[in-house]
Structure 1
């Protein structure tokens, strides 16, 4: 009897097969196997969300070196399985794909340490930047659309909504209109976005985009720690010449640019990594000494590390009388007042996208929002010490199972207008920098947060969401579950701004959308060339003045492809 596959089943098998082959990329090796010296047309520092598509594109017509400080996502089954999303964030070991850091504001955050970057540890939502954002960036809209499609053919999927995503109907019922259906486009109203998780809950990351790479045009080394960029000088102007990197055994390797006007070093360290790398290259004004190519600092660019922003996020936990599914971000309400509303669930892990029960997670893990993952709303930021986190984990262990059945509705502030800065603590590339985001320093950010929390209350009280709330639901009680202070002494139905302002400040968390530090006009030009330096570009989220769309990962991947195509065109012109 012949076996007939549905179209969906066929493509699922194709995707699984492609990921299996990706784990055996012939050009991917541990850095201990790298030559002591090599020569390349492009040296890309960072195999993350932008680095992978950039390297894959450039390898078509050039020799490319891609250096990644972490390992392969195909080596860690947790990375590729949505059921273990929170386990990766909760892992604070030295080999974890997620490197935890705490901002000077007291907000716990994570940096990726794995090929594929943030696409390996995030909640998976996939959505494009708005048309206005594309215009402001000076990008060619036609080339942008082509680059998005190139990415989407490999990593983007239409999610099947579970019950908790009734947040969608709640948003529509409460006036977050129009209903934009399922779309990757950024349009005001309510929509179902894309996901990098497929129907079986399997994650597809930026590393999968390396399937496009020309194997003969690329060397990819894992666990390669880049210590410095090397420079030569054209007169008094520094010109990037190569990099020094170390493998896991501490051996030193050097990679140099091949002769040619088009050869470049391209750091793509991401929102927190890239400004730190750039900070290590700064130097006070003045003529460099003869051996400056081996110095740690080269040029003074005051904008390096400045303009750092993180979209503040606040979430309301809603205990549910009905079972909930494992559900990450799938629906978004793009409001007119400058806040994005989204939902995530799965505190009790009652079901799984494939219909099978996943292995049990660590006990009392709220999934996306928990002390284990560093998402800690129940303790104000400045009090989030290791001891406070340990107490919160212990307190969670005492809560009855029924109380942990539920999910979250969150709001994220558009923008934001509050900005901070980043600086190195030392020159060790493995150590976290000092970062301050200054959450809610600008009053408009606080106003948008208050409006977002009020919108969440309306969604929770909507008919569409009634199956997930207990009778006589009291919204102040939900605030008190999330934040341990007597907000109901200030809060009354309709929302006292004083109470909600306090709630915003005391429960602020990150949703990992930090950006800035190497911004266009301050550190790089509109083609991402570092100002005052030749043969050096920065192509990643650190160049953004604002986070694109509701979630940046699709645009960061797009930018890697977009700029790769642009650089190849420039190369062809220079080579005649």
Structure 2
């Protein structure tokens, strides 16, 4: 019997580890298991319920479905067939869509910085600038992850969504400028997080077509997974017995017509509900389900399942500051491809060229006021009126005004953090979130050093062909608000403080995280402390952002934990059979 169980275990594990993706020619948009939640039964039962079909939820659900029945609930729609998501040249269009059905749900932090959270299958990988890079080995060690399994999980993801970009003139000039000013060595193309200058991966293929976490569902077992779109989870259901921990056993969700559905776990001690709703959605849903700070929950008339004061704490967003460099010659459209990983904790990246929609230039790509990146206005003044005024002014600009690109710096970490609270009991509404940008002096120091590095790149010989002569950084920083070649604020003080510039022009790079952190809300297996049968697996568990850009690691984490959960369950099953 022991031999039989061992054979069963390794055969099952092999099917998990080595399942192959579909061929590129097969269309992943026609998933047979994907349907609108309006078609869902009133009551259903599964081995695993995954809440959130985002960057972590898709690979997690795909992996779990190899051996067990899985329900994947996504509050948004499908990314397939939407050119504003799939085409590189349309970047920013989805983010600028503020309609109730937009794949990007805008929110404004209490700091006044406009941000966005995904509302689409594939999550943030459907909206971001596409950069793909792994976390450092040190990050993995500190997280307690197994290095070999981490690498295998990254590779599993990369077979489907990661590509080497074609680096053209602007990005090449930034790369050579970084090397010239001493951000060395030259690490060439690499997915790895290595100090110096490198070309990272991208989820855009050579035709400019975006590949997202939703594509990882091609690994799923179609007979074991059910994917419901437009399914908004309102709360997690718990069973509470005297003297024992509350146990998650089901969820309540509503479809697009407002009809209520319930899904329950099959009665097995290893069945679980896994929340992968993102850094805003996961702590929000825990609170709506009665897991959070007692006083805050009672203020919203929510029955307390578990008094957990650390839910919603430790919220951070990596601040980004950027400088637009007008070019005397045309530049290519590019998103993030090159990165300088400095020794002082600032990452230098770049994006270039105008985006086109309807045949006319509409914005500065990832730095458009349409998507809230209104850096020429201090955060608290970025009102709808200010955005409308900036957008109108931009539409009157000559096409030459869009010729150029941005060089940005993003700080490592960050150290500064804030908190998240409920505004209402409606899961469709954004919670209140405060990030406290630059609250820690080291964050501000890193921003200043990063901007100084950007200045050196602009003035480097390697970058000479993409800058007008005799245009120092001070001029770029102090251009008037109506200048056709910059979107940065005008300061009357010619000796502009870079510290003040950091505070005034801070934007998001959409890397917010925290709220359900490891060691505070979840353990190292991402099990929610104080309750049973419930985990959180997504960026809300991060204490600081991995690598220069987190999406690769969030996708890896979904796969990594899926394999780990199945491995543990298979071992437990084998042990039970041996005892029999």
Normalising by structure 2, we get a TM-score of 0.90
8 Å contact from structure 1 (residues 476, 487) kept in 2: no
Query: Hey, what's the Cα distance between the residues in 1 that align with 2:572 and 2:139?
Result: 30
Counterpart residue number, 1:6: none
Q: 2:109 aligns with which of 99, 103, 106?
A: 103
**1:85 and 2:85 correspond:** no
Q: 1:567 aligns with which of 541, 565, 578?
A: 565
Counterpart residue number, 1:62: 68
**1:226 and 2:224 correspond:** no
8 Å contact from structure 2 (residues 284, 312) kept in 1: yes
**Residue 464 of structure 1: how far off its partner (Å):** 0.9
Query: Hey, what's the Cα distance between the residues in 2 that align with 1:468 and 1:400?
Result: 19
Query: Hey, what's the Cα distance between the residues in 2 that align with 1:68 and 1:397?
Result: 36
Counterpart residue number, 2:187: 180
User: How do 1:111-260 residues align onto structure 2 when only pairs under 5 Å count?
Assistant: 111-165=117-171, 166-236=173-243, 237-260=245-268
Counterpart residue number, 1:485: 490
Distance 1:421 1:268, change over 3 A: same
Q: 1:529 aligns with which of 527, 530, 545?
A: 527
Query: Hey, what's the Cα distance between the residues in 2 that align with 1:531 and 1:35?
Result: 32
**1:461 and 2:467 correspond:** no
8 Å contact from structure 1 (residues 266, 538) kept in 2: yes
Distance 1:392 1:259, change over 3 A: same
Q: 1:50 aligns with which of 45, 56, 68?
A: 56
Which ranges in structure 1 are unaligned for 5 or more consecutive residues? Answer: 1-12, 287-293, 350-357, 492-498
Distance 1:267 1:474, change over 3 A: same
Query: Hey, what's the Cα distance between the residues in 2 that align with 1:485 and 1:470?
Result: 20
Query: Hey, what's the Cα distance between the residues in 1 that align with 2:491 and 2:398?
Result: 22
Q: Secondary structure at the match of 2:420?
A: strand
User: How do 1:131-530 residues align onto structure 2 when only pairs under 5 Å count?
Assistant: 131-165=137-171, 166-236=173-243, 237-282=245-290, 297-347=304-354, 349=355, 360=358, 363-480=361-478, 481-486=486-491, 489-491=494-496, 499-530=497-528
Distance 1:285 1:176, change over 3 A: closer
Distance 1:284 1:546, change over 3 A: closer
Query: Hey, what's the Cα distance between the residues in 2 that align with 1:326 and 1:423?
Result: 39
Query: Hey, what's the Cα distance between the residues in 2 that align with 1:221 and 1:89?
Result: 23
Deviations 1:46-98 (A, max 9, x none): 00000000000000000000000000011422211111111111111111111
Distance 1:565 1:14, change over 3 A: closer
Which ranges in structure 2 are unaligned for 5 or more consecutive residues? Answer: 1-21, 295-300, 479-485, 575-580
**Residue 310 of structure 1: how far off its partner (Å):** 0.5
Q: Secondary structure at the match of 2:63?
A: helix
Distance 1:118 1:283, change over 3 A: closer
**Residue 471 of structure 1: how far off its partner (Å):** 1.5
8 Å contact from structure 2 (residues 323, 488) kept in 1: no
Query: Hey, what's the Cα distance between the residues in 2 that align with 1:259 and 1:465?
Result: 63
Deviations 1:500-548 (A, max 9, x none): 0011000000000001000011100010000000000000000000000
**Residue 249 of structure 1: how far off its partner (Å):** 1.1
8 Å contact from structure 1 (residues 70, 224) kept in 2: yes
RMSD: 1.6
8 Å contact from structure 2 (residues 353, 364) kept in 1: yes
Distance 1:59 1:361, change over 3 A: farther
**Residue 14 of structure 1: how far off its partner (Å):** 5.1
Deviations 1:380-431 (A, max 9, x none): 0010111111111122233333222111000001011111000110111111
Q: Secondary structure at the match of 2:89?
A: helix
**1:29 and 2:27 correspond:** no
Query: Hey, what's the Cα distance between the residues in 2 that align with 1:260 and 1:545?
Result: 32
Q: 2:552 aligns with which of 548, 551, 554?
A: 554
Deviations 1:255-312 (A, max 9, x none): 00001111000010111211111222336899xxxxxxx9754111111000000000
Distance 1:99 1:284, change over 3 A: closer
Q: Secondary structure at the match of 1:409?
A: strand
**Residue 366 of structure 1: how far off its partner (Å):** 1.1
Query: Hey, what's the Cα distance between the residues in 1 that align with 2:132 and 2:376?
Result: 29
**Residue 362 of structure 1: how far off its partner (Å):** 6.2
Query: Hey, what's the Cα distance between the residues in 1 that align with 2:376 and 2:283?
Result: 31
Distance 1:296 1:47, change over 3 A: farther
For this pair of structures, how many residues does the alignment match? Answer: 538
Query: Hey, what's the Cα distance between the residues in 1 that align with 2:362 and 2:233?
Result: 38
Query: Hey, what's the Cα distance between the residues in 1 that align with 2:534 and 2:180?
Result: 51
Q: Secondary structure at the match of 1:440?
A: coil
Q: Secondary structure at the match of 1:519?
A: coil
Query: Hey, what's the Cα distance between the residues in 2 that align with 1:143 and 1:127?
Result: 17
8 Å contact from structure 1 (residues 280, 297) kept in 2: no
8 Å contact from structure 1 (residues 272, 542) kept in 2: yes
Counterpart residue number, 1:354: none
Which shows bigger deviation, 364-373 or 46-55?
364-373
Deviations 1:234-270 (A, max 9, x none): 4342000100111111111110000111100001011
Distance 1:253 1:437, change over 3 A: same
Query: Hey, what's the Cα distance between the residues in 2 that align with 1:58 and 1:368?
Result: 35
